[in-house]
Structures are given as structure tokens and as C-alpha cells.
Amino acid sequence: MSQSEEQQWKLLLLEALVKERREDAQQVIEEVYPYDLANWYGELGATEQERLLRYLDHERLADVIEELELEQQLEVLRRLDVEHAGHVMDLMENDDLADILEELPKEEVDRLLSGMRQDEALIVRNLLTYPAETAGRLMTNRFIWVTDESTIGETIEKMRDYIEYSETINYVYVVNQLSQLVGVISYRDLILASNDERIADVMDRKVISVSSETDQEDVAKMFERYDLVSLPVVEGDVLVGLITVDDALDVLREEANEDIEKLSASGKSIDFDTKPWVAATRRLPWLILLLFIGLVSGSIISQFEETLSKVVALAFFMPMIAGMTGNTGTQSLAVVVRGLITREVDKKVVTRLIMRELRVGLIIGVTCGILIAIIAYVWQGDPILGLVVGSSLIITLIFGTLAGTIIPLILHRLNIDPAIASGPLITTLNDILSLLVYFGIATAFISRLM
């Protein structure tokens, strides 16, 4: 669908909603995608929103809700009466529904679930028992499985029966008498086999699966590595669910956002809709911590008050040295944080990485150090000042690069949430380090600087 087509559909829908023409609206609804409807929903007035919800049948409404932002999802479910909401929730992906319900107080969850079919409600309750961000929470039970004693004909029969119910994935999973996952067969192979063959003779016994406790980041990695479109979830060897590739795409996006939150210490407010007050309170704890660390810089400078008051020109280079050390630390940090995702790290990799960054720090330090020494000399006409500034920058850039590399690696090793190694924290720590080095060297040369 091109953008201009999209605009046309949108206008047609809007017109139909304003004029309360149910049939016209439903014609548009038929033609466009749930994502688009969800996108337009937010832009409608309250009356039109209410009409749109009324015109959507249960199934379509379930699809649209899945595409809405969390706040809107809650709002829509609250607008519907319990029975209507229940019918819609029956048709939603259970993992998406669990993510929504998790945000609600227990009484409201119970109220909403009471409108659902009992078996569906039970499945959702079960999903909610898995910790967030694990394979168990991503899985659906809407997929087709057969026992290894079935024939191809029976399998196709079962597919016909469950077709409305199952997600459009492309494999049938095979279990034995004990419900243990033993194989997989693609729809393609099903088409090509003859009806009386036994599944056990045609299926692929090499099937990749994950346990339900697996972290979602590892789940996404497996989709990437093995080019999967679906991944069965097991407990022991028993098949309990299936994760589809659309969840892996969402997880990749989420994990990338988390890394960026780490690097920028912005907290969980990487979106445009968070209220100012909420966004501010998420960012403030970091900023206040950094404010106090920044004061440490101040007290270091105050220790060197005598040096500084004798040679005020030292202050000119202070922000540059501190800034450069922070920048180089952030660069290394970014490399490490991203690298830790795609790579397993053992001792060999860590050692090689630290040696690499040491060399990078050396090259960067020497280049920038010599450059600034010349500039400082030319600007202030003092060769010793040039020497002090230049040698300080060499040292601080090497240490800054190493700090940006080693600190996140240590945190990773200690299994501490690497969010602590956020970009601004590294920057601020590097500030302190650079001021110590700079004023240390300057004080040593103070008699020659005056």
C-alpha cells in the first residue's frame, strides 16, 4: 500500500465514522491492515473512536488492539463491557494479552479474565506465571502438533480442523506418547509427501528448541543465527509452546532500545508519548547521582586551587581534556555493550579486546596529544604549558579508553546489570580521572609554568 493510498483509505474511514455510515466504514476496515487502523485510532476524536470500536467485529478488534500502544490497549479494554472484552481477548495472542494484563491490579485482571472462555483464561493465567523477558512469556499455544504415530493424511486432517485457531506458521511439530518433542515437518514437506506415509518417517528429527526459562535476548539470537521462523519451547523435553518470528523482531527492537537507554542513561522513556513528569522522574535519579559525582571533580579542582590561581590559563584546557576523555570512553563503551550481545565472551576474547582498545587508546592519545601540545604552545606562547596539556591528554585518553572497555566487562562478568555502566557515568568518571592527571602534571611543573 503506497502512502497516498493509505491517506485515501484514512479519509474514507474518517468520513464514514463522522457520518455514522457503518457499512462504508466496514468496507475500509476490510481493505486495510490492523496496524494502520491502530495507527489511525489514536488520531480520532472520542466519538469516532467509540464508533470505530463498535464497527469492528471481535476478530478484527483483537488484531487492532494488539497493534496499539500499551496505554491505549488498557483504555480500549476498559471501554468495552466485560462480556465483549472477553470475546475479544479470547481471540488475541495470549502472549500479547499477558503483557497487557501484567500492568493491571489483580482485581481488574480477575474481572477481565472472567469474561473469557475458561480454557483461554487458564492459558493466560499460566503465561503470567513465567517471569517477564523469558521464552515462557513469548510463547503461544496456537500451533499444530501431532504424535509421531500419525500419518500424513491424519496430519492434514488435523490442520483442516485447527486452521482458524492456529497462527500462520509453517511447521507442524511432532511429539511422542510422553508429549516430548521428537521432530518437525514443514508444510512444504507435507505437501510433497503422500497421504499414507507415517509422520515419523518423513519428519526432521533435528529440531532446535529452547527451555521456557531462556532469556528473551537469547531467544532472539537463536532466530538470527539459525534463520528460524518459529521456535518450540520445552520444559524437560515436553513441548509447552511455540515462539514465532514476529516476537523475535519485537525483542530485537526492545533490546536495542535497552542498550541505548544504558548508553544515554535516559531510563525507560524512549518514546514520544511518555508524560513529562514520568520522563523527568525516570531521568532524574541518574542526573542527581551524576551531579554528586560531578561535585567530586569540583573538590579535586579545589585541591589544586593554588596551582589554578597561579596559572589561570590551565582552566582554558580543562573542559577540552575532560570532554575528550569522556568521548573516548563512550566510544569504547558502545563497542563493548554492542559486542557483548552478538558474541560469547571467554577469556581469550576479553584479553584480545582489552589489548585492541589499549592500542586504539595509544594511537588516539598520541595523535591528539601532539596536536594539542602544538596548539597550546602557539596560542599561549608557553612550551611548558604545551607539554603539560599534551602529555596529560595522551595519558587521559589511554586511561579513558581502557575505563570504557574494562568497566562494562567487569560488570558483565559479575552479572551486575550493565545499566550501571551507562555512558554519562563513564563520562563523569573519566572527567574525574582526567582532572587528577591534568592538575597532577601541572602541579609538578608549576615552577616552570610561572
Residues 406-435 touching its own copies, rule: CB under 8 A, are 423-424, 427-428, 431, 435
> Could you say whether residue 238 binds its own copies (CB under 8 A)?
no
> Stretches 74-82, 83-91, 263-271, 409-417: which one binds its own copies (CB under 8 A)?
263-271
Q: What DSSP assignment string belongs to 302-365?
A: HHTHHHHHH-TTHHHHHHHHHHHHHHHHHHHHHHHHHHHHHS---HHHHHHHHHHHHHHHHHHH
Task: With residue 160 as reference, give the H or E element that holds it.
Answer: helix 152-162
Strand 238-244 and strand 230-235: the pairing is antiparallel
CB 32 within 8 A of CB 56: no
What residues from 242 to 261 belong to the interface with its own copies (CB under 8 A)? 245-246, 248-250, 252-253, 256-257, 259-261
What residues from 268 to 297 belong to the interface with its own copies (CB under 8 A)? 269-272, 274-277, 279-280, 283-284, 286-288, 290-291, 294-295, 297
**Cβ proximity to its own copies, 104 vs 159, nearer residue:** 159
> Could you say whether residue 312 binds its own copies (CB under 8 A)?
yes
**Cβ proximity to its own copies, 118 vs 194, nearer residue:** 194
Residue from the set 76, 135, 337, 441 that interacts with its own copies by CB under 8 A: 337
**Cβ proximity to its own copies, 98 vs 109, nearer residue:** 98
Number of H helices and E strands in the chain, helices first, is: 23, 6
The half-sphere exposure of 12 on its side-chain side, counting CA atoms within 13 A, is 17
> Stretches 16-24, 49-57, 94-102, 336-344: which one binds its own copies (CB under 8 A)?
336-344
Angle at 414 (CA atoms; ends 408, 420), nearest 5 degrees: 45
Residues comprising the chain, all counted:
450
> Could you say whether residue 44 binds its own copies (CB under 8 A)?
no
> Stretches 106-114, 129-137, 318-326, 412-420: which one binds its own copies (CB under 8 A)?
318-326
Residue from the set 237, 327, 382, 419 that interacts with its own copies by CB under 8 A: 327
CB 384 within 8 A of CB 449: yes
Residue from the set 9, 55, 145, 317 that interacts with its own copies by CB under 8 A: 317
Which DSSP letter does residue 134 get? B
Cβ at position 197, least distance to its own copies in Å: 15
